[in-house]
A and B are shown apart, each in its own frame.
Chain A
Amino acid sequence: MSKAIKSMEATIRLFFLVVLTLLWSGCEKDITVELPQGEKKPVVDGRLFSGDYPRVWITYTFPFFTPLQGINIYDPNSIAQFLALDAEVTVSDGTVTEYLSLVLDTTYFPPVFYMGDTIVGQPGRSYFLTIRLHGKTYTAVTTIPPIVALDSLRWKPEGQLDSLGPCNLYFTDPPQYGNIYRLFCKRQGYVHYRPIFDPSVLDDQSFNGLRIEFPFYRPDPKNFVFYNSDTLTAQEQRERFYWKRGDTIYVRFCTIDRPAYEFLRTFEESANTSGNPFSNPSSVKSNIQGGAMGGWVGYGAFDIWTVAQ
C-alpha cells in the first residue's frame, strides 16, 4: 500500500516536472560545483539467505565526481581503490565462528566478496558479523525471521497490452503484527535475483493478517548505471519492466527483521532520490556499528516459480 502512495507521489512529481519542462524549455546548463571533500569510509553489503552461506561485499566510499571513465569495473586490479581486499571477516551464529574468504565473481559488481563455507542461514537464528579493517572493528547482528510461504503466482496482461503485464503474488500474512518482507525475482537465464522496484520491502502494518494480492513488475537485469537504457531496441524498450507471455518467472520471497528493514528502506529511498531536487537529501540508516556504511541482512527465503501464460 505504501507502494501505491509512492506511485501517487511519483505521479505528482512527474506532473510537476512535466509542467516545469513546458515552462523552462531550454533554461538548463552545466555548472561546476565545488564539492566538500569527504573522508573515505568502508561500506558493508552483507547478506545471509536461509539455506545459503554468508556473503559480504566490502568497498569504500569515493568522492562524488570521481572519474570512473576507462575503468574495467569487473577487473579487481583496476578498481582496487574502491575495494577492501585486506579485511578480516568473521560470522558467528553464537556457537560456531568462521572466517570468510575472498571469492571472485565477475558477473556481479563489485566482483570480489567474502564468503563462508560452514555456517548456513537458518530461520529463527541470529548471526554476528565482525570486520577488522586497518585497525578498526565493525560489528553487526541480524536475525533470520521464520519463512512465510507464497500461495501462488499469476501473470496478467496489462490494459491493451496483450502479451505484456505484471505478475501477481498471493499469500496470507501471519496473524501477529511485525512481519516484514522483501521480494526478489528474475527471468529465466539470469544468475542473480534482483529486488523488485522500490520499495522492495513491505511492512505488514497496513495488511496484517490478511490475504494479499501484490503485483510486481520485472526489474532491469542490472541497474542503469551499468548500461545505457537508451541503447535498448524499440521492442526491448516497450517490453521493459513487463513480464512477457512465455517467461519463466522466478521469485524469492523473503522475511527480514526490523533493523534490516530500516536499513533497506532508507537505502532504497536514498538510492531512488539521489539527485532528485524535490526531495530532501536522505541518509541511510546503517545497522553496522563502528562507523561503516551499509548493512548486514538475514533473509528467510521462500523460492517459487511460474510460467507467464
Chain B
Amino acid sequence: MRGPGSGEISLRTLLQVALSRIAGWMWTGLWAVWALNPGMAQRKVTLSGYVREAASGEALLGASVYLKENLKGTTTNTYGFYSLTVEPGQYTVVVSYIGYRNFSQVVDLTRDLTLSVELQKVAVEAGAVEVTDERSRQNTESTRMGTVELQMEDVKKLPVLFGEVDILKTLTLLPGVQSSGEGNSGLYIRGGGPDQNLVLLDGAVVYNASHLFGFFSVFNSDAIKSVNLVKGGMPAQYGGRLSSVVDITMKEGNLKRWEVEGGLGAIASRLTVQGPLVKDKLAVIASGRRTYFDVLAKPFIPKKSPFRGSGYYFYDMNTKLHYRISEKDKLYLSGYFGRDVFSFVNREVGFRAAIVWGNATTTLRWNHQFNKKLFSNLMAVFTDYKFRFEGDQNNFRFKLFSGVRDYGLKADFNYYPVAGHDVRFGAEYLNHKFTPSNITFASQITDVKPPEPILYFSNEASAYASDDWDVTQRLRVNLGVRATFYAFNGRFIRYVKDALGATVDTIYYSRHQLIKPYFRAEPRLAARFKLNEWASVKASYTMNWQYIQLASRATISLPFDVWLPTTEYVVPQFSQQVAVGYYHNFWDDMLETSVELYYKPMRDLIEFQDGADPAQTLNSNIDNTLVQGKGKAWGAEFFIRKTRGKWNGWIGYTLAWTNRTFPQLNEGRTFWAKYDRRHDLSVVLSYDITSRLNVSAVFVYATGNTLTLPKNLYFIEERLVTEFAERNSYRFAPYHRLDLAATFVLTRPQKKFFSSLSLSIYNVYSRLNPFFIYYNSSGNLTEGTFKLQARQVSLFPIIPTITWNFKY
C-alpha cells in the first residue's frame, strides 16, 4: 500500500500554473484582436441597447440589428444586448426578428447613443399575412454552422405523444440529430453518444434529461423560452462535450403583467404563473408539472392486493426571479427541481422497494453592462443529479445511491470594439463530485459493514476567446480558442488489479491531492463567404475534449447508468470535426436551404468490457472495467425550412455513417456504432387554416438501429448459453411514423382569457416500429418440444390525445 508521496506537485501549484497559462493565452488573444483592429485611432461612436418583446419585456436573443446605409450589423446576445461601433453619421437602424414586426428608425449618430427597442409580435390574422420588407438573414449571414434555434411557440404546434410537448423529441426532427425511437430521450448527434451532448438549462448542466426512462424529457414546455442546438462548429464559449450543445433558456417572467397558463393532458397537468412583483423591475415565474398514472391506477388496485402501495409518478418545477436593478444591471435566480418516484410493494413476500431519481439545478446570474461596448455575464451554477434505490426484505436492507454534484462559476464577456468585430471571452470553473454506486447493506448480523464508498472528485477550468470578424463585405470569420485544465484529485482509493481482476495494490490519495492533470487547447475556426445576397458558403473546424462520460451497459439509457470522470486510467475523449456547407435563401428569405457535409474522427471513446461487472464497486474501481477506442462519423445533411407564411415547417434529410474500433471489443474489428443510421428523413409541416385553427403533420423515416444477433447455442451445466455474432452486424426494420395535430383556439382573439384544444394523433397509420427483439422459448427439451422464436416488440400503436391549454 502506498500513501501520498512526498515531492509531488500540489493541486494548488498546478492550478496557479494553469491560471497563469490561461491568462497568458487570453491576453495574447485580446492583443491579437486589437492589433487586427484597423481604425482604432479614428473617432467612432457606439450605438447600443437591448431588444425586447413588447408584451412581456422578455429579452429577444439573436435579433438582428443593422444600419441600412452601410449594411453593418450585429445580433443581440443571449440577454438581448447589442452594440455597434461605427463612424459618426446619420443612419437608419433596422431591428428584426422572426415572427415580429420590424423596427426601423433614423438616428443621428454623432456621439454614443443608447437605443433599446421593443418589438411587436406579428398578429396571425386570417388572410392577412404580414409582409415585411426586411428579413432576418441568419442562415446565410452568420458564421455559425450546424446551429438551429427553436422557439417554444413553434414547437408547441407539433403533434405530441400523450399530450406532452417534448423539446428533446422535437430536436430529433432536425437533420443530423437522431433518437433511437421511443423509450429513449437520448440524442445521438452526428455519430456521437448521448453523453456527448452538453445539455444546459440556464447555464447549469442537466445530467439526466429524461423522465420515466426516456419517455419524456425533463423540460416543461411552459417554462422554456427557447432552445439552441449546436451540432457542429461549436463556438469557443462552449466545451466539455464532443458532439453538441443543447442550450435551453427558461422564460424570464413577465415584467408587465400577471399571466397564468396551464394545460390538462392525458397523463399530466401543468401550471405556470408569472408576473411582475414590481412592475418593470422584478418579475417571477413558477411552473410545475405532475403526472397522475398513480392516482388513476389506484382505484383499480384491490385493497387486499399485496401490491397495494406500488406506484409511479414524476413531477418537476421551474422557477425564476428576474430583477432589473437598472438598465445596465440585471440579476436572475433560476432553479429546476424534478423527481421520478417509483415504489413497489409486495406484502406477500415482505418486499418493499423505492426508486427515486432526478435533477436539481440552480443558477444565479448577474448581467452587467460596463459600458457601451462591454457586456458581462457572471454566473454561479449548481447542479445535482441523484439516483437512489432502497429495498428491504425481511431483515435485509440494501440501499444504493449514485449521483453527480457540480458547482461552478462562469464569467462571459461580450466586447464590441468596432462594427465588424464581436469579441467574446471568458472563463469557467467547475467542481465535480461523482458517486458511481454507493451501496449500504444491513442484516441482522452487525459485523457486515460496507467499506467507505469511493467518490470521484475533479476540477475543470477553462478559458476562451473568440472574435466574429467581418474581414471584408463577403468574408466573415470566427476565430476562437478554448483552453482547458482538468484535474482528477483525491480523496480517492485506487485498487490496482491484475489481468484476472484480483487486487494487487491499493493506493490511498488524500483530500485535494492531485492524481492526474490534463492540459488541453481547442482551436475553433469558422468562416462564411457570401457569394451573393442570397447565398453563402461556410466552413468550420473544431476540436473538443471531454472529461466526463456516461458508462452505459444496457442498450437503452437507464437512470442506473453512472457518470464517471476522466481518471488516471481513463483518458479524456477527443474529437475533431470538419464541416463545409452551402446556404441559399429563396423567396425573399422566406425559404432557407442548406447542405452541410461533416467528417468527425474521435478517439478514446469509452465502453464497458465484455462481461464487465460494473455492480462490483466495492474494493474495486468502476473504471477498471472500461475500455477505450476510436470512432469515426461522416455524412451529409440537407435542410429546407420555410419560416413565414400560412404554411411553414421544414424537411431534413441526413445521410450518415458512424463506426467504432476498440482493440478489446469484437476481436479488434471495426463495427458500426449502435446508432449508425444511413438514412434519416423528417418532414414537419404546419398550416394556419384560420387564425384560430392550425394543423400540423410530422413524418419521420429512419434506417433501423444496429443490433448484435445470437449465432450459436451451447450447453453448460444444463443451461443454454448463447454465442453472439459480430457486434452490431444486424439491423432492425426501418422506423417510420406519421403524426397529425390540430390546435383550435376556443376563445375570441380580443378576450383576456385564452384557451385552446389540441388534438394529437401519434403514429397515425399505427406502424409497429421495432423497439427490441427478444427470443421466446416454448416447450421443453424433455418432451422434445423446445422451440425458440424471435419476437419483435413495438411500443406505441396509434395514440390519440386531447389536451386543453389555457392562458390569461
Contact = CB atoms under 8 A, between A and B. Distances in A.
A274 B726 contact: no
Query: Which of A26, A68, A281 is packed against the most chain B CB atoms within 10 Å?
Result: A281
B782 A226 contact: yes
Contacts of A71: 781, 784
Contacts of B553: 279-280
A233 interface: no
A69 interface: yes
Interface stretch (A32-40, A115-123, A130-138, A300-308): A32-40
B616 A205 contact: yes
Given A225-B786, A284-B721, A205 B791 contact: no
A280 B450 CA distance: 29
Contact of A294 (B183, B716, B780): B716
22 contacts: A11-B353, A11-B391, A16-B558, A19-B312, A24-B771, A29-B768, A29-B791, A40-B712, A62-B712, A64-B711, A205-B620, A213-B443, A224-B780, A225-B781, A262-B500, A265-B611, A267-B716, A269-B611, A275-B775, A276-B774, A278-B555, A279-B553
Interface in B670-729: 708-727, 729
A266 B777 contact: no
A273 B556 CA distance: 15
A5 B722 CA distance: 24
Contact of A29 (B351, B441, B792): B792
Interface in B550-585: 553-556, 558-560
Interface string B391-408: 101101010100000000
Contacts of B708: 280-281
A158 interface: yes
Contacts of A61: 712-714, 723
Contact of A158 (B350, B389, B788): B350
A1 B719 contact: no
Interface in B715-772: 715-727, 729-730, 768, 771-772
B720 A283 contact: no
Given A15-B342, A64-B722, A5 B554 contact: no
B444 interface: yes
Contacts of B559: 12
B450 A206 contact: yes
Contact of A283 (B396, B556, B724): B724
Contacts of B520: none
Contact of B618 (A160, A206, A270): A206
A271 B716 contact: yes
B502 A159 contact: no
Contact of B725 (A11, A35, A206, A295): A35
A234 interface: no
Given A69-B787, A73-B781, A280-B555, A59 B714 contact: yes
Interface residues of A, number: 101
B716 A63 contact: no
Nearest to B775: A275
Contact of B709 (A11, A33, A211): A33
A282 B611 contact: yes
Interface string A155-189: 01011110000000000000001100000000000
Contacts of A31: 773, 790-792
Contacts of B350: 158-160
Interface string A215-259: 100000011111110000000000000000000000000000011
B719 A271 contact: yes
Given A19-B213, A205-B620, A270 B500 contact: no
Contacts of B786: 68-69, 225
B793 interface: yes
A195 B717 contact: yes
Interface stretch (B8-16, B123-131, B372-380, B794-802): B794-802
A270 B213 contact: no
B439 to A, nearest CB: 6
B74 to A, nearest CB: 49
A274 B720 contact: yes
A35 B502 contact: no
Contacts, number: 294
B756 to A, nearest CB: 27
B714 A293 contact: yes
Contact of A8 (B348, B389, B556, B618): B389
Given A19-B213, A258-B501, A24 B781 contact: no
Given A82-B715, A205-B616, 19 more contacts: A1-B618, A2-B613, A8-B398, A12-B355, A15-B355, A28-B792, A38-B712, A109-B715, A109-B718, A159-B348, A206-B616, A212-B445, A213-B448, A225-B777, A225-B786, A258-B502, A269-B613, A278-B555, A278-B772
A16 B213 contact: yes
A9 B560 contact: yes
B722 A213 contact: no
Contacts of B41: none
A8 B784 contact: no
A40 B556 CA distance: 32
Contacts of B725: 35-36, 38
Interface in A108-151: 108-110
A43 B722 contact: no
Nearest to A192: B718
Given A15-B344, A27-B794, A109-B781, A62 B713 contact: yes
Nearest to B727: A281
B378 to A, nearest CB: 40
A4 interface: yes
A53 interface: no
Given A31-B773, A259-B500, A265-B613, A225 B349 contact: no
Q: Which interface residue of A108, A225, A266, A269 has the most chain B CB atoms within 10 A? A: A225
Closest 3 CB pairs of A and B: A159-B350, A277-B772, A38-B711
B792 A11 contact: no
Contact of B347 (A160, A177, A277): A160
A20 interface: yes
A177 B495 CA distance: 13
B362 interface: no
B416 interface: no
A103 interface: no
B619 interface: yes
B35 interface: no
A65 interface: yes
Contacts of A60: 714
A207 B351 CA distance: 24
B183 A20 contact: yes
B6 interface: no
Nearest to B793: A28
Given A228-B780, A262-B500, A64 B615 contact: no
Given A68-B784, A205-B618, A28 B183 contact: no
Contact of B724 (A23, A29, A281): A281
A36 B794 CA distance: 24
B782 A73 contact: yes
Interface centre among A23, A43, A212 (most CB of B within 10 A): A23
A271 B715 CA distance: 10
Contacts of A23: 795-796
Contacts of B727: 281
Q: Which of A27, A160, A266 has most chain B Cβ within 10 Å?
A: A27
Interface string B458-487: 000000000000000000000000000000
A112 to B, nearest CB: 12
A12 B560 contact: yes
A85 to B, nearest CB: 15
Contact of B616 (A2, A223, A225): A2
Contacts of B608: 280
A275 B714 CA distance: 14
B729 A284 contact: no
B623 to A, nearest CB: 16
B779 interface: yes
A70 B782 CA distance: 10
A95 interface: no
B774 A5 contact: no
